[in-house]
Amino acid sequence: MSLRILGAHKVFHARGARVTALDGIDLEAKDGELLVIVGPSGSGKSTLLRAVAGLEPLDAGQVLIGDRDVTSVPPGRRDVAMVFQEAALFPHLSVAANIGIGERARGANRRAVEARVRSVAETLAVDHLLGRMPGELSGGERQRVALARVMIRTPAVCLLDEPLASVDAELRLRMRGEIRTVQRSLGVPMVHVTHDQVEAMAMGDRVAVMDAGRVLQCDTPAEVYARPATMAVARGFGPLPMNLLPIGEGTVMGLRPERVRVRPAEASGRAGSVVEVEPAGEECLVRVLPDDANTDLLARLPWTDAPTVGDRVTVAWRPEDEHHFDATTGERR
C-alpha cells in the first residue's frame, strides 16, 4: 500500500502576508519504503507531513493511502501514525501504558497488549523503563517510547517529524538504525522529515529535496548527490554545500568540496591563497580564494594535509567532477 500526494497546495495568511507553504506537490512513498524529506526551515516539510496526517487541511490537492482518498477524512480515521520532534507522551501514564494505549483503546485483549508491549520494548531497548513515568526519561528514551507506540500496531502509513532533532550526536547515530528496524518491522510507507543532510543520506531509500513549498528532486540519495537537478539541490543536499562558480556563457560550474584538491604552490592548477582552515576531527575544511576569482572554494582534506591560513597553494579537480547549471534557471545542463 503506497502513500500518494497529488497537487498539494497550502497557503497561510499571517499579518497581511500570503505565504505559500505547499506549491503543487506531487510525491509518492512506496509500499515498504522509507522516504526522507529534507530541506531548510520554512521549506514546507512539516506542513506536508501534517497534511498527510490530517492535522492541516489542504487548500487543493489529494492525499491517497492505497486506493483510498483520505483528503477529507479526520485524522483519527486515516490509520496514520506520527512521531513528533518532541515525543508526545501522556505524562500521567507509565511507559508501558503509553506504548499500549492505542491498542487498548481499540479494544484489544489486555494480556495480548501486555505481551506485545514487552516485545516491542525489548526490540527498542526500553523494556527496563516500562514502569517509569515520562518525566523520569531522557529525551532519547522518550523518543524510543514514541517509536514503540508506533511499532506496537501496523498503521497504513508512518510519519516522523524530525524525531532526532533534540537528541545528542551519539544517540542520533544509534537511533537511525532503530528507526530502520521499526520501518522494516512495519513494512509500510514511512516518511521521515529532517533538515540534517547526513541523516537523509544515511536513512532514506529515496530522498525528496524541498524548498519554498516545492519538491526540487526525488531520487535515491546516491543519485541526488551525484546528479543534483538544480543549483538549489546542489547547495542544499550533501555533507557540505557544493561550490558554485560562474564560468561565463550563462553557465555555473559546481564542484563538491570532497573533489577539490589543494596542492603546493608550484603544482599545476589555479593559484590562490588559503583564507580559512577549520578543524573537523580527522579532516579539515579549507577555503581557498583563487587569484582570478571573487568567490572562494571550499575543500575537504585529511587533517594531516591541512595548510595554514595565508599559504600560497593551487587548486585542481578532474573534469568529470564538474557539474554545469544554467545561470538563469538554476537547472542542470
pLDDT by 10s per residue, the chain, length 333 = 899 999 999 999 878 789 999 999 999 999 999 999 999 888 999 999 999 999 999 999 999 999 999 999 999 899 998 888 777 788 899 999 989 888 887 778 888 888 889 888 887 788 899 999 989 988 888 888 888 888 787 789 999 988 887 777 777 888 888 888 878 888 899 999 998 888 889 899 999 999 999 999 999 999 999 999 999 999 989 889 999 999 889 999 999 999 999 999 999 999 999 999 999 989 999 999 999 888 899 999 999 999 999 999 999 999 999 999 999 999 999
Strand bridging mode 312-316 / 261-264: antiparallel
Q: Running DSSP on this structure, what letter comes out for residue 24?
A: E
Q: Running DSSP on this structure, what letter comes out for residue 213?
A: T
Q: What's the confidence (pLDDT) of residue 112?
A: 85
Q: What CATH fold (topology level) applies to the domain 3-232? A: Rossmann fold (3.40.50)
331 Cβ neighbours under 8 A, 6+ residues apart: 229, 230, 325
CATH number given to 240-326: 2.40.50.140
Q: Can you tell me whether residue 94 is helix, strand or coil?
A: coil
The pTM for the full model equals 0.87
Q: What's the confidence (pLDDT) of residue 17?
A: 87
Q: What's the confidence (pLDDT) of residue 271?
A: 95
Domain locations along the chain: 3-232, 240-326
Q: Can you tell me whether residue 308 is helix, strand or coil?
A: coil
Q: What's the confidence (pLDDT) of residue 86?
A: 72
Domains 3-232 and 240-326 equal at CATH topology level: no
